[in-house]
Structure 1
Amino acid sequence: MKHLLRTWLAGIAAVLLLGAGALVWVVSTRLPSDEEVAVRISEAFEKRFGVGLKVGGAHWALLPSPVLVLSSVATDQPRPITLRRITVQLKLRELLLRRVIAIDEAEIESLVLPRESVRAFRGKAPKPNEGGNIVALPAPWTLAPVPLEKVRWRDVVWIDRRDIALAYDGEISFEANWRPRQARVERAGASPPARLRLDRAAGQDRWRTRIDVGGGTWNGVTLFEALPDDRLRVSAELEPRQVDIEGLVQAFGRRTAVAGKVSGYSRLVAEAGDVGALIRSLHTRTTFSVRPATLTGLDLAKTVLTAGTDRSGTTPLDELTGTLDTQGTEEGIVLRYTGLKARSGVLTASGNLKSFNRKLDGDVAVDLVDGVVGMPLKIGGTASNPEISLTGGALAGAAVGTAVLPGVGTAIGARVGQQVEKLFGAEPPAKKKKAPPPRTTKPPAVR
């Protein structure tokens, strides 16, 4: 949720102030028509961002209070950013007597943000520490120390690279330098609620952070730090408590292979010179435990006993623990699970897993209570269709181990075969040749 907020906040502020700049032109020259105001805003937006803007309708008034309403707004792009309606209320006294732009409240209705269209504004948004220097105002007009007091929005939709559209509602109250005093962002219609709330400590760049998601909480503290060269550092320390994993991912249009309630500790950090780069640099690290847990759609014991040929079913676990690292990149978020450990009444397992653009790459060693020790499994495929199997070397070793010493020999042979394969280097899967037929009696199947 915080990713989405930082992505479009600077652009929204620019549109608001461009609209306010149009009202400056209104009160300092003559009284133009609504159509002239719409043209003025379109021209100023294109000059500022290099992208055309179509304003379907505009209405303004000075009395009883200055107001600007824009409707049916769309960027001139193959897949446009669209806005059904935005209403801007300005402070009359500051506008007429002091020639100061101060927006009392802005309300946004139905804003749609396709990811590829937002990317066209990369590098054109103001830097995090530029404050209110979003538009140039003619002398003697100036911006108030707090140019925008409050912004509310309803049905703001973010469309990601997979074309998943998620709607958000919320509001922010600002202090100087665009620092939120209070903020609320929530997934529209999510049940149980998925909601972020921020409350600023007086005079500090420190926010009490409360997240309600998946029927649990993910609370802590968020910090902003202004760095040299107009860079900004954002960090947070959060503690997930009894968050239902399925409820969490479903709130954001995703699916999970693990069911249960997670608790742990998270740390987030991002550092950059502009808003977009700040989001792309975000790194998180979460140590977690899920007690109890269930692997849905995967029976680890059956996978081991059939050497990966049959994995249907589920795996109930007493506990699943590990560490999740995420790192933003130009092409998406890389997820790395390390130190994974799982245990139940029938097995224990350990391993590591990497996920990037839904592709999986990892390995796990499974110990069964019936004597099969350390059976190595390879994880591949995609998040929606994972593949679990033995590597070629491990499979050959397992076959030999079965022939020499049934039971535990299967696993020991698989482990030896895997290590030999790593020592001498495995050929790429596409180039692997079929093993020659054995010269002696065919060994029994892997159990």
Structure 2
Amino acid sequence: MKHPARPWLIGIAAVLVLGVGVLVLVVRAKLPTGAEVAAQVATSFEKRFGVALKVGGAHWSLLPAPVLVLTDIATEQPRPITLRRIALQLRLAPLLHRVIAVDDVEIDSLVLPRTSVQAFRGKGPKPAEGGGDLVALPTPWTLAPVPVELLRWRDVVWIDRRDIALAYDGEIAFDPEWRPRQARIERAGVSPPVRLRLDREAGQDRWRTRIDAGGGTWNGVARFETLADGKLRASAELDPHQIDIESLVQAFGRSTPVAGKVSGHSTLEAQTDKAQDLGALMRSLHTRTTFSVQPATLTKLDIAKAVSTAGISRGGRTALDELTGTLDTQSTDDGVVMQYSNLQARSGVLSASGKLRLFNRKIDGEVAVDLVDGVVGVPLKIGGTVSDPELSLTGAALTGAAIGSAVLPGVGTAIGARVGQQVEKLFGGGKPAPAKPPARPSRKP
């Protein structure tokens, strides 16, 4: 249930400067050598972004079409951004008129450590300018209405704050003003596939959006617009359908305490000022998903154990007929905050409600479990981490130790004993022990 858009796209945009900034050299009367091209790329990159660059090799040719290839590129950072190869194929006719028009950009094996990409924050292309400030061309050189027709990449690796490396393949075909006409982005080497596809609708700033994930779909419409106050907004309305949660999160190197197939409705919105870069737009992303998982399994929590022992419970499983709720996510500089609200769970005569917050893999929440036809409410605290969650009874839950023998405030020993029996019955922990017949009064001699 995570949203699919990610900041490594900024890195793909940044590497385009490696070739476009020196294309003017290719059509000069005195053609430069490969070493001169490599040196000019490194100089232009450092001047543009303030980060030194090493270029291992450069090769270009004019016939049958102008082509520039750069290899073995690395930024001079503690953990460098590396690029094995980038190739640019240009149109010759526009070049003769001092217009830059690139038919095809191919990126192969780009590695983007998150800590290194942060050095480029605020230096990327502005959304209002459509990325036009990515390179500064000398007068009278200009960019074509569609500067790049097709951008393709293979094995672009994003390394996140937890040092998890995820590889992506994809391609984007552009219309004027850098609007994607068609786009495909997918996680490399995972099955079932996790893939995003965009198709522009009749030249509008509206895209048909199709996502394959976890054996299901997450389809809808995405939009880009300028608001009345001048701000820019990207938004989407998507409907997840029968997406296997475990398969989806495993495709991104994560684990989940909930298993099952999710369906529902999602809204996504990102908003920024025109003066900010595309990274700021991505970092403002907020999503909301109303979801239903039928059936669902809590793969790392045993509610029966937590309730029946009146202590801290870790591990185990809880089968549910249904789990519903709302998930809000908000991107921040330190990660994504996930808020689950209106959680409702049902299993036989069990019902539960609650909320929780997940940030940097830490869980904080509360759940109220209703047993015995809703007569008894047992408040539970959820804590720990995603990989090791824990349940415990809140301080006000009990006045004794175990529920089976405790006196619940305002309910009495009879209900307390019944709860202890129902817990085992509901969660498959064994049949409740038969009640003992009442003792007969002794007769006086």
TM class by shorter chain equals: 0.7 to 0.9
Q: How far apart are residue 12 of structure 1 and its match?
A: 3.1
Are 1:405 and 2:404 matched, yes or no?
no
* Corresponding position: 1:103 with 2:109: no
Q: Tell me if structure 1 keeps the 8 A contact 2:300–2:389.
A: no
Q: Which runs of 5+ in 1 are unaligned?
A: 413-447
User: What is the match of residue 363 of structure 2?
Assistant: 360
- Report what 1:443 is aligned to: none
Structure 2 counterparts to residues 23-34 of structure 1, below 5 A: 23-34=23-34
1:231 and 1:274 in contact (8 A); partners too: no
Distance 2:29 2:232 in 1: 39
Unaligned runs of 5+ in 2: 420-445
The CA distance in 2 between the partners of 1:90 and 1:76, in whole Å, is 29
The aligned length equals 408
Distance 2:208 2:47 in 1: 39
2:114 maps to 1:115: yes
Equivalent position amino acid for 1:127 in 2: K
Once the two structures are superposed, residues 229-251 of structure 1 have per-residue CA deviations (whole angstroms, 9 ceiling, x without a partner) of 87421000000000001111011
Which residue does the alignment assign to 1:351? 354
2:357 partner letter: K
1:2-24 deviation per Cα after TM superposition (whole angstroms, max 9, x unaligned) = 32464324313333xxx233121
- Deviation track 1:199-240 (CA, whole Å, cap 9, x = no partner) reads 001120000000000000000000001347874210000000
**Aligned: 1:217 with 2:236:** no
Residues 25-424 of structure 1: pairs in structure 2 closer than 5 A: 25-96=25-96, 98-131=97-130, 132-227=132-227, 231-272=231-272, 273-369=276-372, 373-396=376-399, 401-402=407-408, 405-406=412-413, 408-409=415-416
How many angstroms apart in 1 are the aligned matches of 2:381 and 2:396?
11
Q: 1:29 to 1:51 in 2, by over 3 A?
A: farther
Q: Distance in 1 between matches of 2:374 and 2:266?
A: 37
Counterpart contact for 2:152–2:170, Cα < 8 Å: yes
Q: TM-score scaled by structure 1?
A: 0.87
Matched AA of 1:330: D
SS in 2 for 1:119: helix
Deviation track 1:233-281 (CA, whole Å, cap 9, x = no partner) reads 1000000000001111011111111111000000000001321111111
> In 2, are the aligned partners of 1:338 and 1:353 still within 8 Å (CA)?
yes
Q: Which letter maps to 1:104? A: D
AA matched with 1:116: T
Residue identity in the other structure for 2:254: R
- Between the aligned partners of 2:8 and 2:75, the Cα distance in structure 1 is 19
- Report the residue type matching 1:286 in the other structure: T
CA distance in 1, matches of 2:230, 2:418: 57
Identity %: 69
SS in 2 for 1:11: helix
- SS at structure 2 position matched to 1:77: coil
Structure 1 residues 407 and 82: CA distance shift in structure 2, 3 A? farther
- Matches of 2:191 and 2:290 in 1, distance apart? 26
Instruction: Describe the superposition over 1:300-346 as per-residue Cα deviations: whole angstroms up to 9, x where unpaired.
Output: 12211111344543111110000000011111110000000000115
Distance 1:104 1:334 in 2: 40
Paired with 1:120 and 1:342, the residues of 2 have a C-alpha distance of 44
Q: Which amino acid aligns with 2:52?
A: G
Give the deviation of 1:397 after TM superposition. 6.9
Tell me, in whole angstroms, the C-alpha distance in 1 between the residues paired with 2:105 and 2:38.
17
Instruction: Give the AA of the match of 1:119.
Output: Q
> TM-score under structure 2 normalisation?
0.87
Give the partner amino acid of 2:199: D
Letter in 2 for 1:130: E
The DSSP-based 3-state class of the residue aligned with 2:129 is coil
Over 3 Å counting, the alpha-carbon distance change for 1:347 and 1:89 in structure 2 is: same
In 2, the alpha carbon distance for the partners of 1:95 and 1:56 equals 26
1:22 partnered with 2:29:
no
User: 2:438 matched to which residue of 1?
Assistant: none
Secondary structure of residue in 1 paired with 2:127: coil
2:240, 2:263 within 8 Å by CA — same for their partners in 1? yes
